[in-house]
């Protein structure tokens, strides 16, 4: 259904606010950025900002939602372009690495924004959209697991949903650790960030394979 001029104008203003807030969050940090900062940088009055967003948290969660949609799209492409279980898994992991390198601020906060209580979701409906996309990503991992089981490469005694959730949390945790502790990993383990990541991903993959490599 075609949007009206009023709806298109509202969408333009909302996106302008989101784009402005994105730059400020990157430059100043989320905590240090205020609604006054966003209004000034976007060239709106503060009252106009509140017409489109209830709070800074709502703006931030819209940014998280946009970024998690991009991540989902990258993961779908990674899975689609892979020919076997091993390639698919590493493509999935490396898509997360690429996302973290491009959007480090939102990678770190994204996982903390996924699961929220009912009251928080009621207050900020955008949180439900984030939950929905995160569950769609869970579905991508479940489909990968079920395909691997069907091909007799992945163990059939795993619980798909729990394993999918654990794998996703572990992949993100390994990437986050490599980013925060890169120098420590290099000096203490004598391996590069890339080597640490690939070994961590291999360990995860071997935990679900029938014949670990």
- What CATH architecture does domain 61-208 belong to? Orthogonal Bundle (1.10)
- C-alpha span between 147 and 63 (Å, rounded): 33
Domain chopping of the chain, boundaries? 1-53, 61-208
Over residues 31-74, the pLDDT tens digits come to 999 999 999 999 999 999 999 999 999 999 999 999 999 999 98
**Tens digits of pLDDT across the chain (213 residues):** 667 778 788 899 999 999 999 999 999 999 999 999 999 999 999 999 999 999 999 999 999 999 999 999 989 988 888 889 999 999 999 999 999 999 888 887 776 655 555 556 667 788 888 888 989 999 999 999 999 999 999 999 999 999 999 999 999 999 999 999 999 999 999 999 999 999 999 999 999 999 998
- Which CATH number does 1-53 carry? 1.10.10.60
Return the C-alpha torsion angle 199, 200, 205, 208, nearest 10.
Answer: 130
CB 26 within 8 A of CB 105: yes
What is the 8-class DSSP label of residue 156? T
pTM, to two decimals: 0.84
């Amino acid at each position: 259904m075609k949007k009206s001029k009023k709806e298109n104008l509202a969408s333009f203003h909302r996106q302008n606010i989101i784009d402005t807030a994105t730059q400020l969050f990157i430059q100043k940090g989320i905590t240090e950025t205020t609604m006054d900062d966003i209004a000034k940088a976007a060239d709106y009055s503060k009252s106009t900002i509140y017409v489109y967003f209830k709070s800074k948290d709502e703006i931030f969660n819209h940014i998280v939602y946009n970024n998690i949609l991009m991540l989902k799209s990258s993961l779908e492409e990674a899975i689609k372009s892979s020919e076997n279980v091993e390639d698919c898994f590493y493509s999935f992991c490396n898509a997360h690495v690429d996302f973290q390198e491009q959007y480090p601020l939102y990678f770190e906060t994204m996982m903390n924004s996924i699961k929220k209580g009912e009251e928080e979701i009621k207050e900020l409906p955008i949180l439900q959209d984030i939950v929905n996309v995160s569950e769609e990503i869970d579905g991508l991992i479940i489909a990968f697991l079920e395909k691997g089981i069907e091909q007799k490469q992945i163990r059939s005694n795993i619980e798909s949903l729990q394993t999918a959730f654990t794998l996703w949390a572990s992949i993100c945790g390994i990437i986050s650790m490599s980013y925060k502790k890169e120098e420590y990993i290099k000096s203490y383990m004598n391996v590069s960030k890339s080597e640490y990541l690939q070994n961590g991903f291999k360990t995860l993959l071997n935990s679900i394979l029938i014949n670990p490599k």
